[in-house]
Amino acid sequence: MPKETYIPCLLRLFRQYGYDGATLSKISEATGLGKASLYHHFPGGKDEMVQVVLDYLERWLDQNVLQTLQRPGEPLSRLQQMCDRVSEVYEGGKQPCLSAILLLGSAREVFHDRVKAVYRAWIDAIALVLTEAGMSENLAQQRAEDAVIAVQGSLIVSQGLDNPSPFQRVMHHLPAELCRAIGEWEMGE
């Protein structure tokens, strides 16, 4: 089987145990591959496994979030579609964010630049929607950062409470709040 076959399983494992906690024994058990087979598919070991999962998630983000935000259309609609897709990938707030997990422990040194690039691309795509709607670039960047903070923060709180409601509430209100910020900025000009 191609190594891409194991991406959903690896994603689940790294989300559940983190980079340091997803031992080769756990990975072997979950994938059904012996350690030799794991190294056959992933000669770079656990780092390569995470890289393959990140490649998958970056493609997903590009196709489902960034391209949606970059299409022409009403800001509210584009932002709502973004929230719908993001909610999908986190299963309505029931799944933690892998990029946040990879910023902890020994994984930070290895994956920080990739995680930073993902967040930067997402923030820039949201800011693009806001600037196209007439907001200044500086304020749009700040509001876009605030939006990603709200999403990521609500994921952490939802995980901590074992309750997806905080994440779901943020995802429900975020598009309208960002559009309201556009209107408030225009009135304050």
Tens-digit pLDDT profile for residues 40-95: 999 999 999 999 999 999 999 999 999 999 999 999 999 999 999 999 999 999 99
- pLDDT of 106 reads 87
User: Is 40 a domain residue?
Assistant: no
Low-confidence ranges of the chain (pLDDT < 50): 187-189
In the numeric block, the tokens 């990603």 are attached to 148
Q: Which domain holds residue 104?
A: 46-188
- pLDDT of 139 reads 93
User: Is 78 a domain residue?
Assistant: yes
Domain count, the chain: 1
User: Is 27 a domain residue?
Assistant: no
- pLDDT of 187 reads 44
- pLDDT of 185 reads 53
User: Is 123 a domain residue?
Assistant: yes
